[in-house]
Amino acid sequence: MKKQLNSFADGEDIGESRITQAGDLVENDLNLRLIELKNDVNKLGSAPYRVWLEDSGRGSLRVGDLRVKVEAARWMLRIAKHLNGATRELVISTLQRFLDDLESVVASEMRAKEAARAA
């Protein structure tokens, strides 16, 4: 009877299942943050390729850099999904900090764009 309480029908340990579910939730959260970041970067208004206009050359470079960083973060998440244990946790925590920083940069770029429009 005790064995039935501590395991699922397929023999998987309840603790392992909870860890897997928590990991899936973290991955889903990171994935949603990446999608939101990609949308925000696209809202900054530059084309997905470099546009060299007199007044917007620097802006397109910044947006291009942000796009590259978002794509790099997406690849980090894809790689983290294939790792196990402490290595996976390290990559996930690094990615979370990276996304925190990237979100603050994108937010400040959006505020600067809005301020420039208002002026």
Task: Kindly report, residue by residue over 1-21, the tens digit of the pLDDT.
Answer: 444 444 444 555 555 555 556
pLDDT the model gives residue 115:
83
Cα separation of 88 and 74, whole Å?
Answer: 15
pLDDT the model gives residue 5:
47
Amino acid at 115: A
Neighbours of 28 (CB within 10 A): 10
Residues of the chain with pLDDT under 70: 1-23, 45-60
pLDDT the model gives residue 18:
56
pLDDT the model gives residue 47:
47
Provide, for the chain, the percentages of residues in helix, strand and coil under a 3-state DSSP scheme, each rounded to the nearest 5: 80, 0, 20
pLDDT the model gives residue 58:
55
pLDDT the model gives residue 37:
95
Q: What pTM value is reported for the model?
A: 0.70
pLDDT the model gives residue 16:
55
